[in-house]
Amino acid sequence: MDKLQNSRETKKFNRWRKDIGKTLPELSTRVFNLRGTGYTGCGFHWGLEKDLGKIISTMNDFDRSYSDWSLRQTVEVVYECFIERLEEIESEISQRAKKV
């Protein structure tokens, strides 16, 4: 990847982070609403909150340069995996509530 293309990709990535940053309050609410709720892996809920903290920090850290494509990819994958896990937990809780 040449410097110009990398610069464009970095700017695109930073716009994506800003967009994600706008959703962080709602995302935080979703995570903290799970406290004390039983779900598969709930004994490790602190880990979910810890991961949320890392995501918040990453999405708001514009002092750090993400000019390396592998760093950008890592951030995107970590975020997507976090969202998938959160949606799985919410789905599990919803399905359990329907059975009751």
Distances (CA, A) of 8 to 11, 50, 60, 79: 5, 31, 19, 21
Q: What is the pTM of this model?
A: 0.89
Residue 66: what pLDDT?
A: 86
Instruction: Give the model's confidence band at 39: pLDDT under 50 very low, under 70 low, under 90 confident, else very high.
Output: confident
Residue 33 has pLDDT above 90, yes or no: yes
Residue 41: what pLDDT?
A: 80
Is the torsion defined by CA of 29, 32, 37, 39 positive or negative? positive
Domain ranges in the chain are: 3-99
Mean pLDDT of 16-21: 96
Residue 67: what pLDDT?
A: 86
